[in-house]
Structure 1
Amino acid sequence: MAAVQESLSDGRQASLREAFSSSSSSSTSSSAWRGRFPYNEIISLLDVNRPFNLAESTSQDLSLGELLDLPGLESIRDLKLGYGTSAGALALRREIAEACGVPAEHVITTQGTALGLFLLAFEVCRAGDEAVLATPCFPPSRDCLLGAGVTVREVKLSFESGYRLDLGRIEESLTSKTKLVSIASPQNPSGVRTSRADVEKLLGSMARLSPAALLFIDETYREATYGDGAVVESFASLDPRIVTGSSVSKALGAPGLRTGWLTVADADLRSRLTIAKMNTVISGSVLDETLAAALLRHRERVLVPRRRLLAGALQELSNWCRGEQERIEWIRPEGGALCCLRLRADVFDDAAVSRFWQLLPDHDLQLASGKWFGESDRVFRLGFGYLPPARLGAALAALSSSLDAAAA
């Protein structure tokens, strides 16, 4: 049970601040933080964009011009900017449904996957209920649960095991109070996938130990594959207890549209989530949803060149990691534009790790600290799809120079 950790949401968040605070400086003091949602330095990604940004986990940003060049948007000037529907535009939900293999009525659109996470936590769980969360994870995956007042039982996955889902430890954490189990495939920050067989085993454990629980699977990076590799089928249609979430942010490079979704088989839960959405944001932006529908309708036109770029970038990163294997370890990702690297303990002591983070701005570098995701700061997430190909090599060379300086 050592890898299972309870986190309570009733103000006892000092340990969370310590676990998640970044070693980089911030204008906000996390020790004085009093918000309902834990403070996390990942918010810095919205404010800082250094020349060698290896912190972002998206593909390159899609431009509005590229989006408007897609067929079907010729009459967008005539779009009426009134309210949308709380469930989301039907045209958008149909595109999502086709991609996920479910009926359109199973889809609810959200402002990014993050809003879906919060609405699900807020509506599925009540006082005294528990959620089981596999970490390291995208910070809102945990913080939305805590902000909604849910007791979180954390199951830490390890770098040594390649961040593979630990079904035994998850099973140990399941109880009759568990109402939600949350995982991601591919994972953020590691890019590691969970197999269909493991999901089926997890569902079996839930049926025995937590029969009222739902399984949430974050599929945000599902379509971010490499080269001509096949896209893994969505888990949305596998079992009615599964709720999936995704968005146009990562693989398609359109995080500014703020358009995501949930797939929900249970009609009662869909109704409750729709009412919850109406009471928080009323509806999505009709402009964003119209653009997102066109983007999804022509997803392959956008994704094919991006997958080729990702394949090339991953190969360049792999070569760099091979050359730096005496100083770093890495886990090769299976999807997404992101992966985890670790500073070797036999080269970098704790003081050298601190120097490493302090020196990054001097080299115009940006990385995502493992602490943001529930790991140590010896681990960092590296995004290899955000920078143009011509700049990735220079960014990796700057990272080598940072390693030189930190180890000196």
Structure 2
Amino acid sequence: MKQQYRCHRQQRIKQQFMSRFPDNKIISLVGRAPRFDLAESVGPSVRLAELLDSAFGDGADFALDYGTAAGSPELRQEIAKDHGVDADDVVVTVGGAHALFLIAFTLCQAGDEAIVTEPVFPLPRNALAAVGATTRVLPLSFDTGYQVSLDALRNLLSPRTKVVSLASPQNPSGVAIPASTLREIVAMLADHAPQAWLVVDETYREAAYGADLAAPSAVRLGERVISVSSLSKCHGSAGLRIGWAITRDAALRQTLMTAKFSTVISCSLVDEALALAVFRQRERILGERRKLLAENLQLVENWVSRHGAFIEWVRPDAGALCCVRLKREVFDAAGIERFYATLTKFSARVAPGPWFEDDPWVFRLGFGLPALTHLAIALECVSVALVEGSADGAGV
């Protein structure tokens, strides 16, 4: 009886925790990686040695005090300069996910409505649900190129809408929302949901391809627009855990700063010093990664073209990620299982669509992490999985 009670209690506690933060196999991305990892959406990481002299120089022996609640003034100035805002508009956070949680916690109460897209990287949606907001889904579709439908968004808005959470470029598709569409959304919110804030996750914005220009930040489109980003994706510095929220509303900025102080007090001074060094070398760091992304994207595009009998894709606008779809006439449910089983056999992985509430026939392909030769080998593993997973390959 005691054992049954203990098991029942543990199950009840697990269900209670999961209701706040639902489990998702995407957590495996921060576990042990396979040999050929095409599930990730990052590029090569910056090495600590690249930053040490710039970050510390002769002043490495500084005191490990608390930082400020807003973040280092020098770091905020660098972030602001890149976004065309003032340093006082920036709150530095412990990664972009922390910024998204603080925004949800600050702006939404139980019963308020928030609009999120699907498919979506789950953390923004989970943060809103965790604070009791009712999340309404704005569907995005592979068949429409993951474009935002203004009519569909308008039908979801109400006076109870407090947050509209978007990403541009999106995760998992890498599709950007055009500036003209974002302007229309800002105007729409003013008319139909005047209490709402537009939150735009711009984590992949600067991960342009080759000589392509990065899209301008959405933060200057209106007073009720909040931009969120981090150093994790474009700058190869996920281990620093430095992100930020930018708002031109002074009252909201103060509230976010207070919320940050109440959760983590401040960011690490070491992380902030290294982040400042990243910004001071950003042209080199971004330039190297944009060249790699352009080369790898071209390889992926050629690979997709060669496998048109099995797959189709939506070409991304920026970022080290894209969505590929297995053709339904070639893959049944058992074929999808064979496809993933074959990848596992080769110690390779892609990110399944259900991680993002997308179609099981869709997967996210990350192409920024490996060098060109390694990516070519990894894609050949996927090629074999396509053959073995297909209806014709079932009897091989």
TM-score, normalization by structure 1: 0.90
**In structure 1, C-alpha distance between the alignment counterparts of 2:234 and 2:59, rounded to whole Å:** 24
SS of 2:221 mapped into structure 1: coil
**In structure 1, C-alpha distance between the alignment counterparts of 2:151 and 2:369, rounded to whole Å:** 36
Equivalent residue in structure 1 for 2:67, among 71, 76, 84 = 84
Relative to structure 1, the CA distance from residue 292 to residue 317 in structure 2 (aligned partners, 3 Å threshold; closer, same or farther) is same
The CA deviation at 1:74 is 1.1
Equivalent pairs, count:
378
Say whether 1:57 aligns with 2:41.
Answer: yes
* Aligned residues of 1:363 and 1:402 also touching (Cα < 8 A): no
**In structure 2, C-alpha distance between the alignment counterparts of 1:242 and 1:37, rounded to whole Å:** 26
**In structure 1, C-alpha distance between the alignment counterparts of 2:309 and 2:78, rounded to whole Å:** 47
Bigger Cα displacement from structure 2, 257-266 vs 293-302 = 293-302
Deviations 1:16-50 (A, max 9, x none): xxxxxxxxxxxxx9xx6432111111100111201
The structure whose Rg is larger is 2
The CA deviation at 1:79 is 2.4
Say whether 1:345 aligns with 2:333.
Answer: no
Structure-to-structure mapping, 1:30-41, within 5 angstroms? 33-35=15-17, 36-41=20-25
Say whether 1:301 aligns with 2:284.
Answer: yes
* Aligned residues of 1:86 and 1:283 also touching (Cα < 8 A): yes
**In structure 2, C-alpha distance between the alignment counterparts of 1:386 and 1:148, rounded to whole Å:** 34
Say whether 1:155 aligns with 2:138.
Answer: yes
- For structure 1, which runs of at least 5 residues remain unmatched after alignment? 1-28
* Aligned residues of 2:71 and 2:266 also touching (Cα < 8 A): yes
SS of 1:34 mapped into structure 2: helix
Structure-to-structure mapping, 1:9-48, within 5 angstroms? 33-35=15-17, 36-48=20-32
The CA deviation at 1:72 is 5.2
Equivalent residue in structure 2 for 1:335, among 307, 313, 318 = 318
* Aligned residues of 2:321 and 2:366 also touching (Cα < 8 A): yes
Equivalent residue in structure 2 for 1:190, among 173, 192, 200 = 173
Aligned to 2:8: none
**In structure 2, C-alpha distance between the alignment counterparts of 1:279 and 1:180, rounded to whole Å:** 22
SS of 1:237 mapped into structure 2: helix
Equivalent residue in structure 2 for 1:238, among 217, 221, 224 = 221
**In structure 2, C-alpha distance between the alignment counterparts of 1:311 and 1:379, rounded to whole Å:** 23
SS of 1:179 mapped into structure 2: strand
Aligned to 1:99: 82
Aligned to 2:184: 201
* Aligned residues of 1:33 and 1:39 also touching (Cα < 8 A): no
Provide the identity percentage: 45
Q: Which amino acid aligns with 2:168?
A: S
Aligned to 2:275: 292
Q: Which amino acid aligns with 2:341?
A: Q
Q: Which amino acid aligns with 1:132?
A: I
**In structure 1, C-alpha distance between the alignment counterparts of 2:68 and 2:382, rounded to whole Å:** 47
**In structure 1, C-alpha distance between the alignment counterparts of 2:59 and 2:150, rounded to whole Å:** 48
Q: Which amino acid aligns with 1:230?
A: L
**In structure 1, C-alpha distance between the alignment counterparts of 2:148 and 2:77, rounded to whole Å:** 32
Deviations 1:122-175 (A, max 9, x none): 110112110011221111011111112111001111100000111110110000
Structure-to-structure mapping, 1:117-196, within 5 angstroms? 117-196=100-179
Q: Which amino acid aligns with 1:34?
A: Q
Say whether 1:319 aligns with 2:325.
Answer: no
**In structure 2, C-alpha distance between the alignment counterparts of 1:234 and 1:145, rounded to whole Å:** 23
* Aligned residues of 2:101 and 2:127 also touching (Cα < 8 A): yes
Q: Which amino acid aligns with 1:53?
A: D
**In structure 2, C-alpha distance between the alignment counterparts of 1:72 and 1:216, rounded to whole Å:** 31
The CA deviation at 1:76 is 4.6
Relative to structure 1, the CA distance from residue 370 to residue 49 in structure 2 (aligned partners, 3 Å threshold; closer, same or farther) is same
* Aligned residues of 2:36 and 2:349 also touching (Cα < 8 A): yes
Aligned to 1:7: none
Bigger Cα displacement from structure 2, 269-278 vs 246-255 = 269-278
SS of 1:160 mapped into structure 2: helix
Runs of 4+ aligned structure 1 residues displaced above 4 Å come to none
Say whether 1:402 aligns with 2:385.
Answer: yes
* Aligned residues of 2:154 and 2:188 also touching (Cα < 8 A): yes
The CA deviation at 1:269 is 1.0
Deviations 1:98-124 (A, max 9, x none): 011110000001111101111100110
| Bigger helix share | 2
**In structure 2, C-alpha distance between the alignment counterparts of 1:316 and 1:34, rounded to whole Å:** 45
Q: Which amino acid aligns with 1:325?
A: G
Deviations 1:306-347 (A, max 9, x none): 111110000000000000111011000000000000110010
The CA deviation at 1:354 is 2.0
Bigger Cα displacement from structure 2, 292-301 vs 240-249 = 292-301
Deviations 1:56-97 (A, max 9, x none): 10111111112225x453135222211001111111100000
Say whether 1:354 aligns with 2:337.
Answer: yes
**In structure 2, C-alpha distance between the alignment counterparts of 1:224 and 1:67, rounded to whole Å:** 20
Bigger Cα displacement from structure 2, 140-149 vs 391-400 = 140-149
**In structure 2, C-alpha distance between the alignment counterparts of 1:363 and 1:405, rounded to whole Å:** 12
Aligned to 1:283: 266
> How well do the aligned residues superpose, as a CA RMSD in angstroms?
1.4
Q: Which amino acid aligns with 1:391?
A: H
Equivalent residue in structure 2 for 1:68, among 52, 69, 75 = 52
Deviations 1:354-405 (A, max 9, x none): 2222332101111111111110221111110011222000000000011122
Relative to structure 1, the CA distance from residue 34 to residue 352 in structure 2 (aligned partners, 3 Å threshold; closer, same or farther) is farther
**In structure 2, C-alpha distance between the alignment counterparts of 1:218 and 1:243, rounded to whole Å:** 8
